[in-house]
Amino acid sequence: MVYTHSTDNSEPVQVGFSVSKRKFKHAVDRNRIKRQLHEAYRLNKPNLAFDAHKPIAIVFIYIHHKKLDFIQVKNAMQQCLAELRSSN
């Protein structure tokens, strides 16, 4: 996870997801992983509290070399968001 305080005030939180083409050659695999990341973020998003006056941009980068099941992705997302909450 990489984040920075954004200068764009249109949205309080901007999120992006990235999966390496080098590690996952097939677009089907990359898209599935991105869908899992997006769903894990959506489920954990209510736990976050952001200041609307300090917008933030977040990019989640999938660095594992194998496809994980959704439970593992969800747990990793919870850890990332907990780290983000503690740093702000």
pLDDT digits (tens, 9 = 90+) for 28-83: 999 999 999 999 999 998 877 766 678 888 999 999 999 999 999 999 999 999 98
Q: Report the topology of domain 2-87.
A: Ribosomal Protein S5; domain 2 (3.30.230)
Asked if pLDDT for residue 6 goes beyond 80, the answer is no
Phi, psi of 61, rounded to the nearest 5 degrees = -110, 120
CA 71 to chain centre: 15
The residue type found at 45 is: K
The pLDDT value recorded for residue 71 is 96
| CA 8 vs CA 3, 52, 55, 56: distances in Å | 14, 11, 7, 9
- β partners of residue 3: 58
For the whole model, what pTM was predicted? 0.86
The pLDDT value recorded for residue 51 is 66
